[in-house]
Structure 1
Amino acid sequence: MSAGTIIFTGANSSLAIPAVKHFLTNYPDHYAILTIRDPDTPSPHTDKLRAVIAPFQDRVSIRAADLSNLASVRSLTSAITAEIKAGSLPPLTSIICNAYYWNLNVAAELTVDGFEKTFQVNHLAHAILVQQLLESFGRAQDDSHTYCGRIVLFGSDTIFPGQSPLEKYPPLLPEDLQQLAKPTPETDGDHAGHGFQRYSLAKLAIVTWMYALNDHLQKPENSHLRKITTVAINPGNLTDSRALQTNTPFMIRNMSRFLIGPLRPLFSLMDPTMRTAASAGTDVVTLALDQRFEGVKGYFTLLKEDMGPPDSLDKTKQDALWKKTVEWSST
């Protein structure tokens, strides 16, 4: 029986595929559940993932999880919970919430659940996934009544106002948080500007929620969960990420192909966060499982402890977003 199970969402992404390879090669005592939106749909990226995991078939499985459909997320968490209770799957060690969505080419899209798609995939679906699996973590060696483990969420430098050249509208949490889940329709046709802001706000929301989750896990009534910690990582600006080629305007695709990618070595000398998806994937797995990060919590840039933007550190906003996420999760 493996020492524990790790869940990795969006497992056929640019970052995830090398991360999964690093994990399976360096953590032979763990089992991996890799989720993708639809394992049965032909995809060169899923084919690449299957090739990577082929030598490790006894320690890995691919599961369906469409984060734009909350019923799919709940179906996954129910199955994992049942398997862990039955003893057919080792308890959780870590959840890595890597899956993402953005679209800079169209106006805001609503999911079947009625939420803005970028927000649901990046924040709400992952929040539900995590909350429903907290009591499926393994027990601490020094306290059999307490669960322990590490949750990894994903931030971005785009959550800091003024940090991205693509920013047109600042990423600031609105007074009415309902605007995150069901934004007012745009009227100016600026799909790229508003789409980028939706992505930034969704990432800001999950980072703000991370701080609230860590506080929640330390409350007296949750003493059995106090050794589960949550971190959010800015994995860097990944110059070879498919994200730059997906749902983006022609200009961004060309910049990625002919400027950012070829000149990455030069850019990285000026900014160490400009790096490859493989480097980021290794760091993500390290942050999730390496013993030197045991008990850590909070925001990281690469593997360096950092702080989120002011909105994410505001306790009032953390509490408000926590309560609103609970409300959205119950619909």
Structure 2
Amino acid sequence: MASSVLLTGANGSLAIPAVQHLLSTYPNTTAILTVRNASASDANTRHLQEIIAPFKDRVFIRSLDLADLSAVHRFAASLAVEIASGTVPPLSSIICNAFYWNLAGPPELSTDGFEKTFQVNHLAHAALILRLLGSCAAAARILVFASDAQYPGKNSLEKYPPGLPGVNEQNGDDEWDSLVHPRNVKENDHTGYGFQRYANSKLAIVAWMYALNRRLHSSITDAADHQLKEGITVIAVNPGNLSDSRALRSNTPTSLRIMSRVIIKPLSPLLRVTVDPTMRSAKDAGVDVMELAVGKDYLHAEGYFTMRKKDESSAESRDERKQDVLWKKTLVWTGIGKEDTVVPV
């Protein structure tokens, strides 16, 4: 049966080999690939176009800026219409691969006035998923991207540990706005606070994944809702630390760029044995991610994964009270109402 896969950040280091694996291994699948710049003037998009050329009859490249929530809403609404009309097959997977960080400068704001790392990594993808759940096929799998950064003390770049605000009656959930409007940032430590913002976005992604899975399970018991197909699950995957990722050279300090070129990339096999067992190439990670998304071995898989292995996420990400506050705040920040999605909001 024909289906489609939606992949954001499709010209990224992990995404390009993932797309190649999808198109060469799953001939009945259509790929809907989003990039910020869909023009061949972008070298990474041009590389993507070369990869998909033999399969162009079942590939769509679409422009999408995740730093603009109105663009995300328009894109999702338009794609939902295409799927409803039969122009595009139903979604068998949504893969939220696109990401942003800035370890070399102060916090940046999105078009919507939110901290850009948190919006691109979490808010935009949450809005995309919620609006497209009704366009998913039965047993579809949704992948959001985690990182070992969501565990305090686990990533060598961490200086300030990640954390979600507390849940208490005195403060309500006002403190949660610090995730989208950073406070008390020291301008002389861009790397430390930039990585903390990235880690917080990954922690939020994982916590939100659990909240969404609970709502998907409870929604399907309501027989009156015919838009939500059975068996849709959400996976938060830590794809590993990628030795050849372009992210190590984008919005990073000079020291990290040099380390990436001189130590991390050439010594990756040694580092995998002695320091980090998840260190590997973007190609290997891309294949694993795509198999998690559409492979038959992972039918109905859900929860937290490290590479292809089911794992346990950080204790804070598993706090249901925090998950539920984050769920509600995410709806407010993204402007998602009950008319915009097929799960209870």
TM bucket normalised to smaller: over 0.9
Say which of 230, 235, 246 aligns to 2:234: 230
Give yes or no for the alignment of 1:298 onto 2:297: no
1:329 aligns with 2:334: yes
Runs of 4+ in 1 over 6 A off after TM superposition: none
| Distance verdict in 2 for CA 1:311–1:64, change over 3 Å | same
1:267-323, CA deviations, whole angstroms, 9 ceiling, x for partnerless residues?
122333100000000000000011111111100001000011011100100111001
Corresponding residue number in structure 2 for 1:257? 261
Matches of 1:188 and 1:64 in 2, distance apart?
33
State whether structure 2 residue 286 is matched by structure 1 residue 281: yes
Residue type matched to 2:234 in 1?
A: T
TM-score (ref. length: structure 1): 0.95
The 5 A counterparts of 1:172-187 are 172-175=163-166, 176-187=175-186
Match of 1:313 in 2: 318
Instruction: Give a deviation string over 1:73-131, Cα, whole Å, max 9, x none.
Output: 11211111010111111011000000000001111111110110000000000000000
Please report how far the alpha carbon of residue 188 of structure 1 lies from its aligned counterpart in structure 2 after TM superposition. 4.4
- Summarize the alignment of residues 6-85 of structure 1 with structure 2, pairs less than 5 Å apart: 6-40=5-39, 42-85=41-84
Q: Distance in 2 between matches of 1:117 and 1:321?
A: 17
User: CA RMSD of the aligned region, Å?
Assistant: 1.3
Measured in 1, the distance between the counterparts of 2:219 and 2:99 equals: 33
Point out the more displaced range, 127-136 or 214-223.
214-223
What pairs with 1:148-227 in structure 2 (closer than 5 Å)?
A: 148-175=139-166, 176-220=175-219, 223=222, 224-227=228-231
Equivalent-residue separation in structure 2 for 1:290 and 1:177 (angstroms): 37
Give me the whole-angstrom Cα distance separating, in 1, the residues matched to 2:221 and 2:312: 25
Report the AA paired with residue 327 of structure 1: V
Cα deviation, 1:206-228, whole Å, max 9, x if unaligned, reads: 11100000001112476444511
Q: Which residue of 1 aligns with 2:170?
A: none
Is the Cα contact below 8 Å between 1:108 and 1:185 reproduced in 2? no
1:267 aligns with 2:266: no
Post-superposition shift, 1:200? 0.4
Q: Within 1, Cα distance between the matches of 2:144 and 2:295?
A: 16
TM-score by length of 2: 0.91
Q: Unaligned stretches of 5+ in structure 2?
A: 167-174, 223-227, 337-345
What's the counterpart of residue 239 of structure 1? Answer: 243
Q: C-alpha distance in 2, partners of 1:156/1:226? A: 28
The one-letter code of the counterpart of 2:148 is D
Distance 2:251 2:161 in 1: 21
Task: Give me the whole-angstrom Cα distance separating, in 1, the residues matched to 2:119 and 2:11.
Answer: 19
Q: Decide whether aligned partners of structure 1 residues 99 and 328 sit closer, same or farther in structure 2, where only a CA change above 3 A counts.
A: same
Q: Residues 83 and 177 of structure 1: is their aligned pair in 2 closer, same or farther, counting only changes over 3 Å?
A: same
Bigger shift: 223-232 or 112-121? 223-232
Query: What is the CA–CA distance in structure 1 between the aligned matches of 2:219 and 2:45, rounded to whole Å?
Result: 43
For the 8 Å contact 2:6–2:95, the answer to whether it is kept is yes
The CA distance in 2 between the partners of 1:168 and 1:184, in whole Å, is 17
